Amino acid sequence: MSTSATGDVDVRVGQSLYLYGLVMPDAHVPDDLTGLQGERVRAERLTYLTALVSDLPGEQVVGLPAELRAHALVLDQMASICPVLPMQFGMIADGLDAIGSAVPTERQRTFAEDLRELADVVQLSLSARYHQDAVIAELVREEPEIRRLRELTRGRPEEATYEARIRLGELVVAGFDRKRAVDADRLERAVLPLVQKLRYREVTQVDAVLEAAVLVRRDAVARFEEGLEGVAAGLAGRIALRLVGPQAPYDFVEEV
Protein backbone atom coordinates (compact mmCIF):
# COMPACT_ATOMS: atom_id res chain seq x y z
CA MET A 1 0.00 0.00 0.00
CA SER A 2 1.41 3.41 -0.91
CA THR A 3 1.82 6.27 1.56
CA SER A 4 1.57 10.03 1.60
CA ALA A 5 3.09 12.44 4.13
CA THR A 6 0.92 14.46 6.50
CA GLY A 7 3.15 16.50 8.79
CA ASP A 8 5.51 13.98 10.37
CA VAL A 9 3.03 11.11 10.03
CA ASP A 10 3.00 8.62 7.17
CA VAL A 11 -0.60 8.01 6.13
CA ARG A 12 -1.36 4.91 4.12
CA VAL A 13 -3.52 5.62 1.09
CA GLY A 14 -6.89 3.96 1.62
CA GLN A 15 -6.23 3.55 5.35
CA SER A 16 -9.43 3.55 7.39
CA LEU A 17 -9.55 6.40 9.88
CA TYR A 18 -11.42 6.65 13.14
CA LEU A 19 -13.04 10.06 13.81
CA TYR A 20 -13.26 11.55 17.31
CA GLY A 21 -14.32 15.16 16.94
CA LEU A 22 -13.80 18.58 15.41
CA VAL A 23 -11.60 21.47 16.54
CA MET A 24 -10.56 24.80 15.11
CA PRO A 25 -7.62 24.76 12.65
CA ASP A 26 -5.25 26.39 15.14
CA ALA A 27 -5.88 23.77 17.86
CA HIS A 28 -2.82 21.94 19.17
CA VAL A 29 -2.99 18.16 19.39
CA PRO A 30 -0.50 16.79 21.94
CA ASP A 31 2.11 14.49 20.41
CA ASP A 32 1.42 11.82 23.03
CA LEU A 33 -2.37 11.74 22.61
CA THR A 34 -3.49 8.23 21.73
CA GLY A 35 -6.91 6.80 20.97
CA LEU A 36 -8.38 3.46 19.93
CA GLN A 37 -5.90 0.57 19.99
CA GLY A 38 -3.21 2.96 21.22
CA GLU A 39 -3.01 4.68 17.84
CA ARG A 40 -1.72 8.24 17.81
CA VAL A 41 -4.40 10.91 17.40
CA ARG A 42 -3.62 13.57 14.83
CA ALA A 43 -5.24 16.54 13.12
CA GLU A 44 -6.54 16.40 9.55
CA ARG A 45 -7.43 19.78 8.05
CA LEU A 46 -10.84 20.24 6.45
CA THR A 47 -12.14 23.36 4.71
CA TYR A 48 -13.00 25.38 7.82
CA LEU A 49 -12.19 22.99 10.65
CA THR A 50 -9.83 20.22 11.69
CA ALA A 51 -10.84 16.63 12.38
CA LEU A 52 -9.27 14.55 15.14
CA VAL A 53 -8.48 11.10 13.72
CA SER A 54 -6.36 8.02 14.22
CA ASP A 55 -5.57 5.07 11.99
CA LEU A 56 -7.87 2.06 12.29
CA PRO A 57 -5.80 -1.04 11.63
CA GLY A 58 -7.16 -3.85 9.50
CA GLU A 59 -10.86 -4.60 9.26
CA GLN A 60 -11.51 -3.82 12.91
CA VAL A 61 -15.11 -3.43 14.07
CA VAL A 62 -15.54 -0.68 16.65
CA GLY A 63 -17.94 -1.11 19.55
CA LEU A 64 -16.23 -2.50 22.63
CA PRO A 65 -16.55 -0.71 26.00
CA ALA A 66 -12.77 -0.10 26.06
CA GLU A 67 -13.05 1.63 22.70
CA LEU A 68 -15.89 3.82 23.91
CA ARG A 69 -13.73 4.83 26.89
CA ALA A 70 -10.81 5.60 24.59
CA HIS A 71 -13.09 7.72 22.37
CA ALA A 72 -14.34 9.74 25.35
CA LEU A 73 -10.86 10.12 26.82
CA VAL A 74 -9.50 11.67 23.62
CA LEU A 75 -12.33 14.19 23.56
CA ASP A 76 -12.00 15.02 27.27
CA GLN A 77 -8.24 15.49 26.98
CA MET A 78 -8.71 17.84 24.04
CA ALA A 79 -11.50 19.68 25.88
CA SER A 80 -9.01 20.56 28.62
CA ILE A 81 -6.94 22.37 25.96
CA CYS A 82 -9.44 23.86 23.53
CA PRO A 83 -13.12 23.70 22.48
CA VAL A 84 -14.05 20.46 20.74
CA LEU A 85 -17.21 19.15 19.10
CA PRO A 86 -17.65 15.41 19.72
CA MET A 87 -18.46 13.09 16.87
CA GLN A 88 -20.66 10.06 17.41
CA PHE A 89 -18.87 7.00 18.71
CA GLY A 90 -18.03 4.56 15.93
CA MET A 91 -17.60 6.95 13.00
CA ILE A 92 -15.09 5.65 10.45
CA ALA A 93 -13.87 7.25 7.24
CA ASP A 94 -12.49 5.15 4.42
CA GLY A 95 -9.38 7.25 3.89
CA LEU A 96 -8.59 10.96 4.02
CA ASP A 97 -10.88 11.91 1.14
CA ALA A 98 -13.88 10.38 2.92
CA ILE A 99 -13.58 12.68 5.95
CA GLY A 100 -15.07 15.51 3.90
CA SER A 101 -18.12 13.35 3.19
CA ALA A 102 -18.57 12.69 6.90
CA VAL A 103 -18.32 16.43 7.64
CA PRO A 104 -19.72 18.32 4.62
CA THR A 105 -18.27 21.77 3.94
CA GLU A 106 -21.68 23.45 4.18
CA ARG A 107 -22.06 22.23 7.77
CA GLN A 108 -18.54 23.17 8.82
CA ARG A 109 -19.44 26.87 9.02
CA THR A 110 -22.14 26.07 11.59
CA PHE A 111 -19.80 23.82 13.55
CA ALA A 112 -17.13 26.53 13.51
CA GLU A 113 -19.60 28.97 15.05
CA ASP A 114 -20.43 26.42 17.74
CA LEU A 115 -16.73 26.09 18.54
CA ARG A 116 -16.30 29.86 18.75
CA GLU A 117 -19.16 30.03 21.25
CA LEU A 118 -17.42 27.37 23.35
CA ALA A 119 -13.99 28.99 23.13
CA ASP A 120 -14.01 30.50 26.63
CA VAL A 121 -15.90 27.80 28.54
CA VAL A 122 -15.45 24.19 29.56
CA GLN A 123 -17.92 21.52 30.66
CA LEU A 124 -17.75 19.86 34.06
CA SER A 125 -20.05 17.21 35.51
CA LEU A 126 -21.46 17.75 38.97
CA SER A 127 -23.13 15.05 41.05
CA ALA A 128 -24.59 15.23 44.53
CA ARG A 129 -25.48 12.16 46.57
CA TYR A 130 -26.97 11.66 49.97
CA HIS A 131 -25.18 9.89 52.76
CA GLN A 132 -27.97 7.34 53.07
CA ASP A 133 -27.58 6.62 56.79
CA ALA A 134 -27.87 10.31 57.63
CA VAL A 135 -31.05 10.79 55.59
CA ILE A 136 -32.66 7.57 56.86
CA ALA A 137 -31.96 8.76 60.41
CA GLU A 138 -33.77 12.01 59.55
CA LEU A 139 -36.75 10.10 58.17
CA VAL A 140 -36.94 7.90 61.27
CA ARG A 141 -37.01 11.00 63.47
CA GLU A 142 -39.52 12.85 61.31
CA GLU A 143 -42.02 10.15 60.31
CA PRO A 144 -43.72 7.99 62.99
CA GLU A 145 -44.85 5.34 60.46
CA ILE A 146 -41.32 4.78 59.23
CA ARG A 147 -40.15 4.55 62.84
CA ARG A 148 -42.90 2.04 63.69
CA LEU A 149 -42.25 -0.18 60.68
CA ARG A 150 -38.52 -0.10 61.28
CA GLU A 151 -39.01 -1.32 64.83
CA LEU A 152 -41.54 -3.91 63.66
CA THR A 153 -39.17 -5.47 61.13
CA ARG A 154 -35.95 -5.22 63.10
CA GLY A 155 -34.56 -8.65 63.95
CA ARG A 156 -37.58 -10.53 62.64
CA PRO A 157 -37.61 -13.03 59.74
CA GLU A 158 -38.21 -11.52 56.29
CA GLU A 159 -41.04 -13.93 55.48
CA ALA A 160 -42.91 -12.89 58.63
CA THR A 161 -42.61 -9.17 57.90
CA TYR A 162 -42.71 -9.16 54.10
CA GLU A 163 -45.57 -6.70 53.66
CA ALA A 164 -44.23 -4.41 56.39
CA ARG A 165 -40.83 -4.34 54.70
CA ILE A 166 -42.40 -3.50 51.35
CA ARG A 167 -44.33 -0.64 52.92
CA LEU A 168 -41.26 0.58 54.78
CA GLY A 169 -39.28 0.63 51.55
CA GLU A 170 -42.00 2.61 49.78
CA LEU A 171 -42.12 5.19 52.57
CA VAL A 172 -38.33 5.57 52.63
CA VAL A 173 -38.16 6.05 48.85
CA ALA A 174 -40.96 8.62 49.05
CA GLY A 175 -39.08 10.36 51.84
CA PHE A 176 -35.93 10.57 49.74
CA ASP A 177 -37.98 11.98 46.86
CA ARG A 178 -39.43 14.73 49.06
CA LYS A 179 -36.04 15.68 50.44
CA ARG A 180 -34.47 15.61 46.98
CA ALA A 181 -36.96 18.16 45.67
CA VAL A 182 -35.95 20.60 48.41
CA ASP A 183 -32.21 19.88 48.48
CA ALA A 184 -31.76 19.92 44.69
CA ASP A 185 -33.40 23.35 44.57
CA ARG A 186 -31.13 24.66 47.32
CA LEU A 187 -28.07 23.23 45.64
CA GLU A 188 -29.02 24.71 42.28
CA ARG A 189 -29.41 28.16 43.84
CA ALA A 190 -25.98 27.81 45.44
CA VAL A 191 -24.27 26.66 42.24
CA LEU A 192 -25.93 28.86 39.61
CA PRO A 193 -24.03 32.05 40.52
CA LEU A 194 -20.77 30.15 39.92
CA VAL A 195 -21.47 28.86 36.39
CA GLN A 196 -22.41 30.08 32.92
CA LYS A 197 -25.00 27.37 32.22
CA LEU A 198 -26.43 24.30 33.95
CA ARG A 199 -28.15 21.32 32.34
CA TYR A 200 -29.88 18.63 34.40
CA ARG A 201 -29.43 14.94 33.79
CA GLU A 202 -31.95 12.29 34.79
CA VAL A 203 -31.63 11.10 38.37
CA THR A 204 -31.98 7.32 38.56
CA GLN A 205 -30.67 6.36 42.01
CA VAL A 206 -32.57 6.77 45.27
CA ASP A 207 -29.62 8.48 46.95
CA ALA A 208 -28.95 10.88 44.06
CA VAL A 209 -29.74 14.52 44.78
CA LEU A 210 -28.54 16.14 41.58
CA GLU A 211 -26.86 15.12 38.34
CA ALA A 212 -25.92 18.02 36.09
CA ALA A 213 -23.48 19.36 33.55
CA VAL A 214 -22.20 22.90 33.96
CA LEU A 215 -20.35 25.30 31.70
CA VAL A 216 -17.65 27.29 33.47
CA ARG A 217 -15.28 29.87 32.05
CA ARG A 218 -11.88 28.32 31.42
CA ASP A 219 -10.17 31.06 33.39
CA ALA A 220 -12.60 30.62 36.30
CA VAL A 221 -12.45 26.85 36.88
CA ALA A 222 -10.26 27.25 39.97
CA ARG A 223 -12.63 29.85 41.42
CA PHE A 224 -15.59 27.57 40.70
CA GLU A 225 -13.88 24.68 42.49
CA GLU A 226 -13.17 26.91 45.48
CA GLY A 227 -16.78 28.08 45.57
CA LEU A 228 -18.01 24.51 45.32
CA GLU A 229 -15.78 23.51 48.23
CA GLY A 230 -17.58 26.12 50.30
CA VAL A 231 -20.93 24.67 49.29
CA ALA A 232 -19.72 21.14 50.08
CA ALA A 233 -18.53 22.21 53.52
CA GLY A 234 -22.05 23.29 54.39
CA LEU A 235 -23.40 19.87 53.31
CA ALA A 236 -20.76 17.72 55.01
CA GLY A 237 -22.08 14.54 56.57
CA ARG A 238 -25.36 14.72 54.66
CA ILE A 239 -24.64 15.30 50.95
CA ALA A 240 -21.42 14.53 49.08
CA LEU A 241 -20.49 16.49 45.95
CA ARG A 242 -18.35 15.15 43.11
CA LEU A 243 -16.93 17.16 40.23
CA VAL A 244 -15.52 15.58 37.04
CA GLY A 245 -13.87 17.31 34.12
CA PRO A 246 -12.99 19.06 31.95
CA GLN A 247 -15.09 17.11 29.49
CA ALA A 248 -16.23 17.44 25.91
CA PRO A 249 -19.46 19.51 25.87
CA TYR A 250 -21.83 16.57 25.24
CA ASP A 251 -24.65 18.21 27.20
CA PHE A 252 -24.53 21.55 25.40
CA VAL A 253 -24.04 20.59 21.73
CA GLU A 254 -25.29 17.79 19.54
CA GLU A 255 -22.80 15.18 18.45
CA VAL A 256 -21.66 15.65 14.86
Digit-by-digit pLDDT tens for the chain (256 residues) are 223 333 444 444 457 889 999 999 988 999 999 999 889 999 998 888 999 999 887 666 677 888 899 999 999 999 999 999 999 898 888 877 788 778 888 888 889 998 998 989 999 999 999 999 999 999 999 999 999 998 888 888 878 889 999 999 999 999 999 999 999 998 998 888 889 999 999 988 999 999 999 999 998 999 999 999 988 998 989 999 999 989 999 999 887 7
Q: What is the pLDDT of residue 1?
A: 29
d(CA 47, CA 81): 22
Q: What is the CA 170 to chain-centroid distance, rounded?
A: 31
d(CA 35, CA 86): 14
3-state helix, strand, coil in the chain (%, to 5): 45, 25, 30
Comparing CA positions, the residue from 190, 254, 247 lying closest to residue 216 is 247
d(CA 80, CA 226): 18
The residue count for the chain: 256
